[in-house]
Structure 1
Amino acid sequence: MQIDRRSLISLASAAAATPALAQTSDPTEIVKLWPRRPPGAPPVLPVTKITDRIATTGWQDRYATDIGEPLMTVFRPARPNGAAALIAPGGGYIRVVIDKEGFEVARRLAEAGVTCFVLRYRLPKEGWVDASDAPLQDAQRAIRLIRAQSFRRVLALGCSAGGHVAASLATGFARPVYAPIDAADGQSARPDLSALLYPVIDMARPFAHVGSRAALLGPSPTPEAEAKYSPHRQVTAETPPTFLVHAADDTSVPVENALNYLAALRTAKVRAEAHIFEEGGHGFGIRLAQGRPAAAWPDLLVSWLGRRGFLWRAVADAPGVTPA
């Protein structure tokens, strides 16, 4: 098929105008999770390092390591609807991806009126005393800080290893993984909904993601540790309704991770919606799903959020917000 110059320019302009992928400046609003040192901190805190893979990917593709000061980057929508989302990007528990599974997803949800908080959580192998619980400590604290800002509807969304963070939060929101430090810790850490994209779930072979398992639990975890940190084994009737996305051809995190979590939700009679795409591989986010069936997932998610009553507007939920 031939494409003339005018059509090519039109296609390029449309791609550049795609809001979720637009190259815009980063938000400047940052929320630090801990007023002092995080729980179980080593004597010398790691100093966050940001690496950009733009030379190999061709687009801004940053990730963070050595995260001594976990935080949230805030994306405030032009027309907020009173709902919030905590977004946990992936990275195999050895890094936290910033753009592909964080900022780009946040911009898409902000278009739907959701105030987004992109989580930069601590990594287990960077010196923390309770290494396997460090990401969950940060996720619980993050939800509580969001609720302390008067958001009553909170979604926890996670991709890949960030999906494990979000699923661990959805099933372990009440686990006492750190001592309360202020009034915010009186808030519930339970998300109202969760969305898991190609999530790491199972910590046992044969379906475990080997890298995430080793980073979180060490090279030879016990069966007890595998069970404790496999969220599908921790699902209860209190687990929030969940939206699942996975690709059947994912060779990094087998699709059985999502399917087993779905089965556990169904057994517990927790409402769930799952989209298993034939093609997509792993780590597609929004950008790498373009041109594939998996590109539909953001719209499917927004539709699901709408049906769950998550996107309605209310002044009481977000002080200072003018309803539509």
Structure 2
Amino acid sequence: MKKNKNLKNCLTVIILIVALKIGTPIYAQDKVIPLWTTAIPDAIKAPNYQEKEVVKDGIVTGVSFVTIPTLAIYLPHEIKPNGTSVLILPGGGYSHLSIDKEGAKVAKWLNSLGITAFVLKYRLPSDLIMKDKTIGPLQDAQEAMRFIRKNANQLNLDSDKIGVIGFSAGGHLASTLSTHYNDIVYKTDNTISARPSFSLLIYPVICMTDVVAHKGSQTNLLGVNPSQELIDKFSNDKRVTPETPHAFLVHATDDTVVPSENSINYYLALKNNKVSAELHLYEKGGHGFGLGVKDTSFFWTKDCVEWLKANEYL
């Protein structure tokens, strides 16, 4: 009887384990890997600087104080992969990462289109953990893009169809990667290009000039009293060249957090450099609408799908 009881208990445990695996949250990634296989460049050890998570209903919705950047890989399962991939950069004013709304959920949307997605949990600028906080996030973004392109064949991806999508401050990092991809911000023997094939910029921070800058992002990235040289360097509308990747931009006119002039200025810079671009300015939507929650901005994903199709990424 005791033997049968033990067997029954073992079976119960096995069934529970299987049930837990089947019940994995819908936004669970296929794999999470450390971004850096070597030492994180220019890192400063700070034992008291510990990563923090915000958890709601069992899902990590926000992350701050990131010290170990990771890359979460999301593979399409319900539709055949089409070879296109996108690096996702969540926003959060360079103070935290909206890792679910502007990360995992975006990855699953891209997966539904047959696109392989990579969510980057990047280091947020801080003098406590990096020697130069202005380039810390860019170091991570460049390395992530190089990783994807280096492993494109293994993952059955087209190395010429690797895009980047960024939201709010993540949009600033995406546009920084798109305009500073050749900047040498860390030592590497990797000669693979960090240039995105295209960029999707959703209510992005672009400008660091006081008139239209998101003050929180500016302060967190550049410091309290940045020099004009530093402001100009990271005002990415001023860094556009004919080699800048073409872009799809989305903004709401009633955005009072990050003014729509950020997207407008970047679009005009692309246009002036004869780089193809598409800009959608919606009447309403505010800021931080993610994949769309209300008003006219709710439909931006449909417009984006059409742009991806027109440019042969779908």
Q: Could you state the TM-score of these two structures normalised by the residue count of structure 2?
A: 0.86
Which of 162, 178, 183 matches 1:154? 162
Aligned counterparts, 1:1-324, within 5 A? 24-44=26-46, 46-52=49-55, 54=56, 60=59, 62-78=61-77, 79-125=80-126, 126-150=128-152, 151=157, 152=159, 153-181=161-189, 185-286=190-291, 289-311=292-314
Aligned partner of residue 278 in structure 2, secondary structure: strand
Q: Residue deviations 1:270-311, cap 9 Å, x none?
A: 00001000000001002xx23421111112112111111112
CA distance in 2 between counterparts of 1:69 and 1:290 reads 32
Deviations 1:205-228 (A, max 9, x none): 110000000000001101110000
Give, in angstroms, the shift of residue 32 of structure 1.
1.5
CA contact (8 A) 2:253 2:260 kept: yes
Secondary structure at the aligned position of 1:304 is classed as: helix
Question: Residue 134 of structure 2: SS of its match in structure 1?
Answer: helix
8 Å CA contact 1:92–1:211 kept in 2: the answer is yes
> How far did 1:66 drift?
1.5
- SS at structure 1 position matched to 2:85: strand
What is the Cα deviation at residue 72 of structure 1? 1.1
AA at the equivalent of 1:131: K
Q: Given residue 234 of structure 1, which amino acid in structure 2 is its aligned partner?
A: R
Distance 1:59 1:303 in 2: 34
CA distance in 2, matches of 1:258, 1:225: 20
Structure 2 SS opposite 1:204: coil
Cα deviation digits, residues 194-243 of structure 1 (max 9, x gap) = 00000001111110000000000001101110000111000000000100
| Contact 1:232/1:260 (<8 A) preserved | yes
Given that 2:46 and 2:129 are in contact with CA atoms closer than 8 Å, whether structure 1 keeps it comes out as no
User: Contact conserved, 1:61 with 1:100, CA < 8 A, in 2?
Assistant: no
> What's 1:13 paired with?
none
SS at match of 1:131: coil
Gaps in structure 2 of 5+ consecutive residues: 1-24
Number of residues paired by the alignment?
281
| In 2, Cα distance between equivalents of 1:59 and 1:213 | 32
- If asked which structure has higher relative contact order (CA below 8 Å, sep 6+), I would say 1
Shift in Å, 1:29: 0.1
CA distance in 2, matches of 1:206, 1:29: 42
Give the Å deviation of 1:47. 3.4
Partner of 2:7: none
Pair 1:89–1:69, CA change in 2 (3 A): same
The separation in 1 between residues aligned to 2:209 and 2:129, in whole angstroms, is 24
Per-residue deviation at 1:48?
A: 2.2
Where in structure 1 are there 5+ consecutive unaligned residues? Answer: 1-22, 312-324
> Sequence identity of aligned pairs in percent?
41
In 2, Cα distance between the equivalents of 1:25 and 1:209?
30
Query: CA distance change for structure 1 residues 154 and 302 in 2, over 3 Å: closer, same or farther?
Result: same
Q: Structure 1, residues 141-189: CA drift from partner, whole Å, max 9, x if none?
A: 00000001123110110000000000000001111011005xxx22110
**Normalising by structure 1, what TM-score?**
0.83
Letter in 2 for 1:38: I
AA matched with 2:116:
T
Deviations along 1:10-33, one digit per CA (max 9) or x if unpaired, are xxxxxxxxxxxxx61511401211
Measured in 2, the distance between the counterparts of 1:118 and 1:305 equals 19
On the 8 A contact 2:27/2:105 being kept in 1, the answer is: no
Alpha-carbon shift at residue 49 of structure 1 (Å): 1.7
| Amino acid in structure 1 at the alignment position of 2:140 | D
CA distance in 2, matches of 1:30, 1:60: 16
